[in-house]
A = this chain, B = another copy of it.
Amino acid sequence: MKAKVFVTLKNGVLDPQGKAAHGSLERAGYSFIKDIRIGKVIEIELDDMDRTEAEDRLAEICEKLLANTVMENYRVEIDG
């Protein structure tokens, strides 16, 4: 089965990468952009299991390894 995990910076945490992209777009004349924040999307292929169990197990690995919960939020989405 497949799942996606979205890891994004919490509000208030500075995002230099997003700021750089925003600056480049402004300099290139794309003034309709107000703000950009850049996070990660982690596409995971895992053994087939119960949907709830998959959500629990993925939340566990997010807490332990995939996200830095001091600065980042995460959201698990099971495909299909």
Q: For the complex formed by this chain, how many copies does it contain in all?
A: 2
- Count contacts on A: residues with CB < 8 A to the other chain: 30
List, in ascending order, chain B residues with CB within 8 A of A24's CB: 65
Query: Are B43 and A40 in contact, with the CB atoms below 8 A?
Result: no
CB proximity to B under 8 Å, residues A30-77? 30, 32-47, 49, 57, 61, 64-66
* A residues whose Cβ falls under 8 Å from a Cβ of B: 6, 8, 18, 21, 24-25, 28, 30, 32-47, 49, 57, 61, 64-66
Given known A40-B40, A64-B28, contact A33–B8 (CB-CB < 8 A): no
Query: Are B42 and A40 in contact, with the CB atoms below 8 A?
Result: no
List, in ascending order, chain B residues with CB within 8 A of A32's CB: 46-47, 49, 57
* Residue in contact with A8 in the complex, picked from B25, B28, B41, CB distance below 8 Å: B41
